[in-house]
Structure 1
């Protein structure tokens, strides 16, 4: 009898934790495990702002998927672009652009999320996100190049536009990104004698009335004070009305000369979700507390791609798209798949949120672990300690700790690598949001597919 095939889509926190649990808990001959991912690493997303600011190298947050004592998962190098739940086939575009069918008995949809955008003129073409390793590396190069070009320019208008930076999104990602990159430019400008530090302006804007409301009023105000003390102009209740190549228009009527717009205003579930033609909640797949997709045999979803009921909160709440929930969902879902294989009942996912840590760079941080409000160095210790402990391999932990120590002692050289220097890459280029198939195209690809291979 053929072994059951478990196909996991996505190598984020949810997918990797699921695969690791399956490898540890299943006997070698009990099932075949495959993981669909374009890259052979797990990206430690919370530390991307530190990659953009040069505190960490890109390799430090790219945790190898092959460094596992029990590694026996087949890695399919590509991205899932459609799922036919009736034929039990996942359509995959490999990194060679070849399209192949991957049949499954159980499929775990942990495809994560993409940057959420709106119908704002110029946004898609002129904004950059902070969701991928390539975007973080690109933004670092871009910010330093603006200093280089402003320093060389004799045109005051050009110089002004190159030295204004806008970050949209007052949540975790946007706040850390603005704080980290402001430190980068404030340190780098010391090496540009022709540039007046007062000309460099960072703006953080958000349509919400509060900064990081999940921290609570007290710590949210503390974070706001830290940013403003550093010279970051924070505007709340404001968003972008239009984005151009050299200016940004705000919804309050201000027009800012600017060539750097970083968009972190939330996330949306992976476009893969739309290929299933299933019920969604706020764009995420509606699943049961056991993370199964109703009406689709052997289909499970979790993490940012799924609206997993938050039973700890109740009242119809769904789990927020955080690494904390994704990791625990991955482990619980692996247990449920194993229970299903062995004829045992599945269990509901329940987890009480443990809090939030926010690293603002240098000695600044605000954190709320287990409901305890911290700021300054204690909060910084909690934030970095949490991230360091959450890194999956000793190699990654060593690299990150070494980078932190090196940066604290020696600082940064403010070197740009020339990554995509001559191409203004868009959000679509980095996140491949236009790569997915329609339901009709999926059925055409899977027509006649043998679900048992």
Structure 2
């Protein structure tokens, strides 16, 4: 079979969904059956649930960056860049490479798994002064920033400056925000012992959320247990509260409080990648509408999954239920999408995606955790064992598992040296600087670009 006649499969995104799809395609399809291409700016899969542990120094950044080139059957061509538009009619994906070159990639089958971006609101000063927790670079930057606040507070002779540098605000009472506040609070609590000039009582962490409950998915009992753990550590939890405006040295809450701080971490949810808006296709609350087979209705050869797709949750029963944007769903959707592409190539029937949620795990650092595996409520060491056991087993490569386990053991025995790497030390890096949400085209720009300079479908 000639190269021209082989179907071209293009996968957009190297998150849980995209990588699982690529790996299954590599295992199940022979090199003569299809050409596989992956669009991603970075040649690794980020294990996002452990990001707060990178920010707090428990894990090194490399340990949760899983190389895409370690697969024994690796043959996928990687385009180092981000998809900024898709012309579904011409079957062309527009890609901006990491050198800012615009290229057009034709396809026969496309798998849209671009993931999500941080959800923000029109709050004065938010994108200029808040930090995110969505990328490896942000986690490493936040660690440097938090330790630098201790250094600067220790060196300052101004009580007001010292107080503002030692207050930290985390917005978002979901898993990301709760784990971020918990892990970073442990970091500052342990670090302050190395700063004899600092009064530990000046270090204050605030966790706020507009919702009435912290992590409501955990249920009343476990949610309350998590709150009790954090409050015992001294974290001030404010529910039903959000940010009214953000400044360089203070944050104003919607209840009128003004908190002097140099650290505002925003983790208040996610929204589908802006790539979805370039398609001109039907969406459900911002996520691309798909069938239970993970196909986009009325679009030949288009599959969508993960955070950016509203995948029907057949395990829950109601017709309008969609799968939550979690790693366990994304990984399993990736496998089903690959199987359905293979079935299409081989003229076989596709199968629907069905998966019953296995439960929830929340690592609060140290011996503190709350978990709900298969509906069983756990807290303390048993919950911690389940949480870390789940994350460890979900890591895709043996090298990553070895690195993470070694990091956990070393941190438990030797602690942290609280060293700043100095990356971007003199360059501001806030929400607007990491996710490049202004890089995407409109549907009209995509069509004009493809018709004007790009190749058309054969």
Q: TM-score range by the shorter chain?
A: over 0.9
Tell me, what secondary structure is at the counterpart of 2:437? coil
Distance 1:451 1:364 in 2: 56
| 1:44-443 alignment runs, 5 A limit | 44-315=47-318, 316-443=320-447
Q: Which residue of 2 aligns with 1:18?
A: 21
Identify unmatched segments of 5+ residues in structure 2. none
Contact 1:104–1:451, Cα closer than 8 Å, also in 2: no
Q: 1:451: how far off?
A: 4.0
Task: Please say if residues 104 and 455 of structure 2, whose CA atoms lie closer than 8 Å, have aligned partners that are also in contact.
Answer: no
What is the deviation of 1:440? 2.1
C-alpha RMSD of matched pairs (Å): 0.9
Instruction: Tell me the alpha carbon deviations over residues 199-223 of structure 1, each in whole angstroms, 9 at most, x when there is no partner.
Output: 0000000011111111111000000
The answer (yes or no) to whether the contact 1:428–1:434 under 8 Å persists in 2 is: no
1:434 aligns to what SS in structure 2?
Answer: helix
Q: In the TM superposition, what is the alpha-carbon distance from 1:452 to its structure 2 partner?
A: 4.8
1:178 positional shift: 0.2
Moved more, 28-37 or 443-452: 443-452
2:450–2:456 contact (8 Å) kept in structure 1? no
Q: Distance in 2 between matches of 1:416 and 1:198?
A: 23
Give the secondary-structure state (helix, strand or coil) at the position aligned to 2:402. helix
SS of 1:220's equivalent in the other structure is: helix
Structure 1, residues 93-147: CA drift from partner, whole Å, max 9, x if none?
Answer: 0111110000000000000000000011100111111000000000000000000
| TM-score of the two chains, using structure 1 as the length reference | 0.99
Three-state SS of the structure 1 residue aligned to 2:79 is: strand
SS in 2 for 1:92: strand
1:443 deviates by 1.4
Aligned pair count?
453
Structure 1 alignment gaps of length 5 or more: none
Q: Is the 8 A contact 2:117 2:435 kept in 1?
A: yes
Q: Report if the CA contact (8 A) 2:152-2:165 is conserved.
A: yes
Superposed structure 1 runs of 4+ greater than 3 Å apart: 448-453
Shift of 1:314: 2.4
